[in-house]
Chain A
């Protein structure tokens, strides 16, 4: 976790932000990742309108039809074990998988960021909050998934809770680090001297100056949340069939690995590309804002 200790530039300065953005788009890999993610997020949002067919409509005549097979020449990527169109399944699967990841990082990350800011602002709260974060961090994420699935049963609800909880501690720790640096800025002092209330100082001064950097770390966290969600669904603890979710689609297709490898390979490949893009972009964003790692 050595990257947490480095000094961050004042990201609220528009000049710093614009050069950082320029630097990212000079890196071809990061630019490609950003474009790919943009396209894929749009595709996931408008999936119900662009999917060629119903992802839940089975057609036993098309069962396990390979890519480009004569039986299913109208389907771009073949059909799965129930003769459902793979393109539509993948689009809807992407929708659930991305939705899960974003929910986890926004809700869990939001809670984590709030805890981190509070810990930096109120000295009294620092020890209890950071102890709680330490406790949460000392559990491997997969165990949260297993324990919650065991207590409230398998399904999407438990999966979302598990993913949210695992996003809290990392973001809380990072947010506190960032907020502590902002706390030393002169404008915080000036705001206090001008008689602003705690709430104003926290929200308009502290949070407003921390969130750009926190967002970058949330991007990095997204890849991890998506991977964990897919793994839990693959194990049968998350999304349940027939729900189209990439991890459970991969698990379903596993039984037909020799007959029709595309049924499990395609969802795996999509997960890989999405997580890779988030990681490449997250790394580039971090390097761009991090003066020490840049050298």
Chain B
């Protein structure tokens, strides 16, 4: 187990370094000279030069990268070029809504996907199975923005539910109402993959010897499905759901932008289109680091759920 954790951490390190390098490069393409900006318009050339030395901008790039790493470790990601607020502050404001949206999506889409996948596997080959699989292929193929547009047009346009922004925290009625449409949009593309994964895993489990033994013992069909089948089938499904977080992240960037949801994804897109490099750097970095941490957690969860994984590698 310890070896497994170490192995995962070692793999994550180059990825993290790559993320930081991208963040650093982003700050290099800023068209204005940071030293001139911070010296102010009335500064002499000697003053600008002094500030350049003070900021370390005369040093070679790799040394500047080192300084950058030091600053990032202290959560100093620079200032937004548009709002002039600290990037870390902007991230702190937007991270909550993004996590909220993802959780709201998972709470309905994951159980529904697992239910549909189990049903399809139980009735393997029947019309129920074929219908569920057809729907899930459609779910994997539909552009998430189309679902959003349809909901905005038909539900939001009719005035039934708000579709612009976040009206408050989740525990308030207004906040709850404003998250419904974004959560449906994001979750609709997630049900299909979860249903497919559950079905495959369930089919494998139901073919196992211990399931046949359970059936031979005369245990009811329903109990066999739930206790012997689903409980074992869920182990890979949990990991696969976790690994699909990256897929979900893509959907959430689009969903947040469409519904003006004040999350990290919308902030990243806004920063890129308005050339706010420090903010774009911070947003991309936090998305990447968040994704890496979730992956790591899921992997460890898998090793904990199924001890064979940890021992097989060492």
Show the binding face of A for B, using Cβ within 8 Å. 2, 29, 131, 134-135, 138-143, 146-147, 149-151, 154, 223, 227-228, 230-231, 234-237, 247, 250-251, 254, 257-258, 261, 264-265, 268-269, 271-272, 275-276, 278-280, 283
Q: Are A250 and B145 in contact (CB under 8 A)?
A: yes
In the complex, what's the smallest C-beta–C-beta distance from B147 to chain A, in angstroms? 9
Interface of B is mostly: helix
Q: A2-B200, A138-B12, A258-B157 are in contact. List 10 more A-B contacts (CB 8 A).
A: A138-B15, A143-B287, A151-B29, A154-B272, A230-B143, A230-B145, A234-B254, A235-B257, A237-B269, A272-B141
Q: Kindly state the separation between the CA atoms of A143 and B269 in the bound complex, as whole angstroms.
A: 11
In the complex, what's the smallest C-beta–C-beta distance from B24 to chain A, in angstroms? 11
Tell me whether A146 and B15 are in contact in the complex, defined as CB-CB below 8 angstroms, given that A138-B292, A151-B25 are known contacts.
Answer: no
Which of B62-70, B217-225, B242-250 sits within the interface? B242-250
Q: Are A150 and B141 in contact (CB under 8 A)?
A: no
B114-154 vs A, CB cutoff 8 Å, 1 = contact: the mask equals: 00000000000000000000100110111111100110110
Q: Which 8 A-B pairs have the closest CB atoms?
A: A140-B246, A142-B250, A268-B146, A276-B141, A275-B141, A150-B280, A150-B272, A140-B249
Q: Are A139 and B143 in contact (CB under 8 A)?
A: no
Nearest-neighbor residue (CB-CB) of B283 within chain A: A146
In the complex, what's the smallest C-beta–C-beta distance from B297 to chain A, in angstroms? 13
Partner of A272, one of B18, B142, B236: B142
In the complex, what's the smallest C-beta–C-beta distance from B104 to chain A, in angstroms? 19
Nearest-neighbor residue (CB-CB) of B291 within chain A: A140
Q: Kindly state the separation between the CA atoms of A140 and B288 in the bound complex, as whole angstroms.
A: 8
Among A147, A150, A278, chain B packs the most CB atoms within 10 A around the CB of: A150
In the complex, what's the smallest C-beta–C-beta distance from A25 to chain B, in angstroms? 19
Q: Are B272 and A140 in contact (CB under 8 A)?
A: no
Partner of B145, one of A141, A268, A275: A268
13 A–B contacts from the bound complex (CB under 8 Å)? A135-B11, A138-B11, A143-B287, A151-B25, A154-B273, A223-B140, A228-B250, A234-B254, A235-B254, A235-B269, A237-B273, A247-B145, A279-B137
Q: State the interface size on chain B (CB cutoff 8 A).
A: 50
Q: Are B146 and A272 in contact (CB under 8 A)?
A: yes
B276-314 vs A, CB cutoff 8 Å, 1 = contact: the mask equals: 010011011001100110010000000000000000000
Q: Kindly state the separation between the CA atoms of A268 and B142 in the bound complex, as whole angstroms.
A: 8
User: Does chain A have a CB within 8 A of B101?
Assistant: no
Enumerate chain B residues within 8 angstroms of A283, measured Cβ to Cβ: 137
Enumerate chain B residues within 8 angstroms of A237, measured Cβ to Cβ: 269, 272-273
Partner of B291, one of A143, A261, A278: A143
User: Does chain A have a CB within 8 A of B41?
Assistant: no
User: Does chain A have a CB within 8 A of B35?
Assistant: no
